[in-house]
Each structure stands twice: as structure tokens, then as C-alpha cells.
Structure 1
Amino acid sequence: MVREEVQQLINNLIQIEHISTTLYLAMSAYLDSENYTGMAKWLRLQSEEERTHMLTLIDYLTGKNGVVKLSDVPAQPTDFGTPLETFQKVLEHEQYVTNWYRQAYDYIKQVDPQTTVIIQDFLREQIDEEAQVLTIVDRLKLAGENSSALLLLDQELGQRQNGAAPAG
């Protein structure tokens, strides 16, 4: 049986991934409605990736005879601004998620070394996720209000496949 504090920590991470899934899906729908279909596809795939993270954590917790506590997910906005503003919000959210995993790792390494391994894997992945989104933000800044550059970047982001998040 998993310790109560470890179970609570994993449930907190499950909730964060659940929120991430719905946030990115809402962003995808918004950008799709703004005709940025490539960016929308990128965010939809990111939403699916976050759902996979959530399911991995659920499977881990249930595999240790823990209890999964799924909470309500807050309603997401319907307008995220420009593509740059949207991806700046993605970057802020990824940094928030990284901070949660960092805190979880710092705590868990002292009380449950086995769980440290899974948290460390997520922390490692966060390095890549932040870097990819930072590249997208930087490229959107370079594009500015140039519609040709925005459409080119939109097309490039639309080439993302499951499991890969090319950003340049």
C-alpha cells in the first residue's frame, strides 16, 4: 500500500495533468476557430500527451493499491488572444507544471525512492516540453504581425505527429 502523503501527491499531479488536458483542448478549439489549424492540431496533440501523463500516474497509483481521487476540472476560457498570447500561456502553464513536479521530486526522494523514478521521468520530459514551447513563443515573436510568417509557422506546427512536438 502506498503511503497517504505519497497518494495525495500523486493525486495532485493527476489533477494537474487533467487540467492541462482540458486547457490545451480549449486552446486548440479556440485557435481552430481562428483558422490557425496547424497550431490547433499541435495543441490537440499536446492535450492527448497530457492525458497520457494523467493515465500513467493513475496506473502507477492503482498499481500500488492507491486510491485515485479525480476532482472537478475548472471551466476553461474560450478566448486566448493572439497565437503569441496563447503560446505564452502554454509556456506559463508548462513552467507551473514543472514547478509542481520539481516540488514533488524534492519531497518524494526522501520518503519513497521508488516513486522518485516516475517523478524524475516526468521532470525530464518537462525540460523538453518547456524548450519546445519556448521555441514556438520565440518564433511567434519573430513573426510579429506578419500574416505570411504566422501562416508558415501554423503550417509547420500542423506537421506534428503523435509523440513528437516539432517546434523548429
Structure 2
Amino acid sequence: MVKKEVEQLINNLIQIEHVSSTLYLAMSAYMDRKNYTGMAKWLRIQSEEERRHMLTLIDYLAGKDGVVKLDAVPAQPSDFGTPLETFQKVLDHERYVTNAYRQAYDYIRPIDPQTAVIVQDFLREQIDEEAQSLTIVERLRLAGNNTSALLLLDQELGQRKGGAAAGPAPAPAG
């Protein structure tokens, strides 16, 4: 049986990933509506990746005989501003997620080293999540209001491939 504080911590991380998935899906719909189809695709894949993270955490907690609690997800905005403003929100959110995993790791490490390894895997992945987001923000800043540059960047982001390779491997049950 999993300790209550571990169960609560994993449920908090599940909620963060659930909100992240919904946020990026809302951003994807917004960018699609603005005809930035490549950015929309990138954000849709990001949403799917966050959902896989959530499912990995759910499977881990359930495999330890923990109780999974899925709370309501707040409504997301339908307008995120310019592409730069949208991806700045992505970067800010990824930094928030990194901080949440860092705090979770610091808390859980002395209590449950096995769970700490799982949390550390997600924390390690956040390095790449933040770096990708920062690169996109910096490139959007360089593009400024240049329509050609924005469309080129949109096309480039549309080349992103989705798939099971993104994110830590699913945790074994037990």
C-alpha cells in the first residue's frame, strides 16, 4: 500500500499534467483558428505528450495500490494573443511544471526513493521541455512582425512528429 503523502503528491502531479494537456489543446485550437496550422500541430502533440505523462503517473499510482483522484480541470481561455504571447505562456507553464516536479522530488526523495526515481525521470525531461519552449520563444522574437518569418517558423513547427518516444517510459506496476 502506498503512503498517503506519496499518493497525494502523485495525484497533484497527475492534476498538473491533466491541466497541461488541456491548456495545450486549447492553445492548439486557438492557433488553428488563426491559421497557424504548424504551431497548432506542435501544441496538439504537446497536449498528447502531457496526457501520456498523466497516464504514466496514473498507472504508477494504481500499480502501487494507490487511489487515483482526477479533479476538475479549470476552463481554458479561447484567446492566447500573438504566436509569441502564446509560446511565452507555454514557456511560463513549463517553468511552473519544472518547479512542481523539483519540489515533489525534494519532498519525496527521503520518504520513498522508488517514487523519487519516477519523479526524477519527469524532472529530467523538463530540461528538454523548457529548452524547446525557450527556443521557440526566442525565434518568434527574432521573427517579430515579419509575416514570412512567422509562416516559415509555423511550417517548421508543423514538422514535429508525435509518438510514444516522448516522455519517460511507463513505470512498471507494483
What is the TM-score when the length of structure 1 is the normalising length? 0.97
1:73 aligns with 2:109: no
Alignment deviations for residues 22-53 of structure 1 (CA, whole Å, 9 cap, x no partner): 00000000000000000000000000000000
1:57 aligned partner, one-letter code:
L
1:45 aligns with 2:45: yes
Q: What are the residue-to-residue correspondences of 1:145-164 with 2, within 5 Å?
A: 145-163=145-163
C-alpha displacement at 1:65, in angstroms? 0.1
Q: What are the residue-to-residue correspondences of 1:1-168 with 2, within 5 Å?
A: 1-163=1-163
Counterpart of 2:171? none
C-alpha displacement at 1:144, in angstroms? 0.1
**1:110 & 1:82 partners in 2: Cα distance?**
44
1:149 aligned partner, one-letter code:
A
Secondary structure of 1:66 counterpart = coil
Q: Name stretches of at least 5 consecutive residues in structure 1 with no aligned partner.
A: none
Percent identity, aligned pairs only?
82
Alignment deviations for residues 50-99 of structure 1 (CA, whole Å, 9 cap, x no partner): 00000000000000000000000000000000000000000000000000
CA RMSD in angstroms comes to: 0.9
Counterpart of 2:172? none
Secondary structure of 1:77 counterpart = coil
Q: Which has the higher contact order (CA 8 A, sep 6+)?
A: 2
Higher helix share: 1
**1:14 & 1:41 partners in 2: Cα distance?**
23
Secondary structure of 2:68 counterpart = coil
